[in-house]
């Protein structure tokens, strides 16, 4: 089987609720999504998505995603889409870094491989674990009262995991406001709930230590991505006893090995477009599991194709190490594909359909912005 053509589509995904806020005053109103269709000489079609969160999240942006695909896609024409490591090597040897550009191409090849094998993707990735995958809520930075309400709203829908955004500037309220946000979100905590306080690399060590000193003992939460650099994170690690989960700092296998060798964290957030697709996701999942790190399986953001990828990876991840998956559909208002995985009682299960199990809406995607292989 050979890759015959690659089509690239572009859509804007408007943010649900109008605006999404992160630490450092970062705001997003829409996300620029790149969706890829790969067709083979045997008639298979595979789909993949790469949607960077925005140019201020990590070193990735949507224009760069498509510019990278423009370099990568021609080199994959004629290759076997089932030889994931060889495809990954080819992409690494064509373009350094830019994992977001490899992502959609890598996913589409996995979609084809699973369809050709007659399996849902989660079975290709090691086998389905039983039961629904707990989905995590995303509570954007706001007043403590509003964030407490949003947690209550998600709790009422059955969510057990809650990701609460912190990282207020001094002008907004600084460490005091962040401490109040954490306390408000945990105020009604129920048994079995899991809370992440996610700073998206937005805290200085000084901010983090002041915030932690303002919190009462006994609050059960994990601090995610507190600082922007390894040095700051390591410094904080040595001076606090709150469990740490890394996200933005861990993109490559080498990053993960560094975190493990220096004992920088207790868990890691693996995101499909941040790690570079399914091939590096499952490599890093194995490394993290070997070190006993807990994992959240997510994406930077995205639509149905992104969620399908997340869900199949999460569905095949050892359950005792999997904390949650993200449903990026809940963050945007545009639907790009049919995907039968409703959230029921705060969880979702990968469908039995072959491959990813997505049926993209061609009328929504419009005409390709680029085509390779013809
Ligand atoms: Mg995060």
- Read off the CATH number of the domain in which 80 is found: 3.30.390.10
> What is d(CA 178, CA 201) in angstroms, rounded to the nearest whole number?
14
Q: Cα-flanking dihedrals φ and ψ of residue 14, to 5°?
A: -65, 145
| Burial group, residue 209, by CB count within 10 angstroms (0-12, 13-18, 19+) | middle
Q: What is the CATH number of the domain that holds 159?
A: 3.20.20.120
Q: What is the pLDDT of residues 282-311, one digit of tens each?
A: 999 999 999 999 999 999 899 999 999 999
User: 367: CA distance to ligand 1 center in Å?
Assistant: 33
Residues 76 and 129 in one domain: no
Q: Can you give the pLDDT at residue 24?
A: 83
Residues 22 and 102 placed together within one structural domain of the fold: yes
How far is the centre of ligand 1, averaged over its atoms, from the C-alpha of 273 (Å)?
A: 13
Assign 330 a pLDDT band (cuts: 50, 70, 90).
confident
CA of 238 to the centre of ligand 1 (A): 21
Asked if residue 213 and residue 107 are part of one domain, the reply reads no
What is the predicted pLDDT for the residue at 233? Answer: 98
Q: Point out which residues pair with 6 in neighbouring strands.
A: 38, 372
Q: Which domain holds residue 329?
A: 123-359
pLDDT in tens, 192-224: 999 999 999 999 999 999 999 999 999 999 999
Residue 170 has pLDDT above 80, yes or no: yes
The answer, yes or no, to whether residue 22 has pLDDT greater than 80, is: no
Residue 54 binned pLDDT confidence (cut-offs 50, 70, 90): confident
* Cα 57 to ligand 1 centroid, rounded to whole Å: 10
- Regarding whether 177 and 51 lie in a shared domain, the answer is no
User: 128 and 256 share a domain?
Assistant: yes
Q: Look over the chain and give the mean of its residue pLDDT values, rounded to a whole number.
A: 96
Stated length of the chain: 374
Same domain, 78 and 38: yes
Residue 331 has pLDDT above 90, yes or no: no
How far is the C-alpha of 274 from the C-alpha of 316, rounded, in Å?
19
Q: Are residues 161 and 288 in the same domain?
A: yes
Question: What total number of domains does the chain contain?
Answer: 2
Residue 363: partners with Cβ closer than 8 Å, 6 or more residues away: none
Same domain, 147 and 65: no
Domain co-membership, 97 together with 158 = no
Q: Are residues 63 and 80 in the same domain?
A: yes
Tell me the whole-structure pTM to 2 decimals: 0.96
Tens-digit pLDDT profile for residues 85-138: 999 999 999 999 999 999 999 999 999 999 999 999 999 999 999 999 999 988
Q: How many CB atoms are located within 10 Å of the residue 4 CB?
A: 18
- Residue 312 above 90 pLDDT? yes
Contacts of 82 (CB under 8 A, 6+ apart): 1, 109, 112, 113, 116
* 151 and 75 belong to one structural domain: no
Neighbours of ion ligand 1 (CB under 5 A): 198, 247
Q: Is the pLDDT of residue 21 over 90?
A: no
Same domain, yes or no, for 148 and 220? yes
Catalytically annotated residues: 165, 271
Nearest Cα neighbor of 133 from 153, 107, 110, 160 is: 160
Ligand 1 mean position to 165 CA, how many Å? 9
Is the pLDDT reported for residue 348 higher than 80?
A: yes
Residues paired with residue 198 on neighbouring β-strands, in sequence order? 165, 224
Distance 197 CA to ligand 1 centre (A): 9
């Amino acid at each position: 089987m050979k890759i015959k053509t690659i089509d690239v589509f572009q859509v804007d995904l408007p943010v649900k609720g109008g605006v999404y806020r992160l630490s450092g005053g970062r705001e997003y109103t829409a996300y620029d999504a790149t969706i890829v269709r790969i067709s083979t000489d045997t008639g298979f079609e595979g789909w993949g998505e790469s949607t960077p969160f925005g140019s201020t999240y990590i070193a990735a942006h949507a224009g760069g995603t498509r510019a990278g695909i423009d370099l990568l896609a021609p080199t994959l024409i004629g290759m076997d889409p089932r030889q994931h490591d060889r495809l990954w090597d080819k992409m690494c040897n064509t373009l350094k870094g830019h994992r977001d550009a490899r992502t959609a191409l890598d996913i589409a090849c996995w979609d084809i491989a699973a369809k050709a094998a007659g399996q849902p993707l989660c079975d290709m990735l090691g086998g389905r674990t039983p039961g629904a995958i707990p989905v995590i809520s995303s509570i954007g930075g706001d007043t403590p009262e509003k964030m407490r309400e949003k947690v209550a709203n998600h709790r009422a829908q059955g969510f057990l995991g809650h990701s609460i955004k912190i990282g207020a500037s001094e002008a907004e309220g600084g460490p005091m406001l962040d401490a109040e946000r954490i306390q408000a979100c945990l105020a009604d905590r129920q048994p079995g709930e899991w809370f992440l306080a996610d700073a998206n690399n937005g805290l200085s060590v000084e901010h983090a230590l002041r915030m932690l000193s303002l919190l009462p003992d006994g609050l059960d939460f994990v601090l995610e991505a507190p600082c922007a650099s390894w040095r700051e994170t390591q410094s904080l690690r040595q001076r606090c006893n709150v469990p740490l989960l890394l996200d933005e700092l861990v993109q490559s296998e080498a990053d993960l090995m560094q975190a493990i060798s220096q004992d920088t964290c207790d868990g890691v957030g693996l995101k499909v477009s941040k790690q570079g697709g399914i091939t590096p996701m499952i490599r890093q999942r194995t490394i993290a599991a070997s070190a006993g790190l807990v994992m959240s399986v997510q994406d930077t953001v995205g639509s149905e194709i992104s969620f399908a990828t997340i869900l199949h990876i999460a569905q095949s991840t050892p359950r005792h190490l999997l904390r949650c998956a993200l449903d990026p559909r809940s963050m945007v208002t545009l639907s790009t594909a049919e995907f039968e995985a409703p959230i029921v009682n705060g969880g979702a299960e990968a469908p039995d359909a072959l491959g990813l199990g997505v049926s993209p809406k061609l009328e929504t995607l419009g005409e390709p912005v680029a085509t390779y292989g013809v």
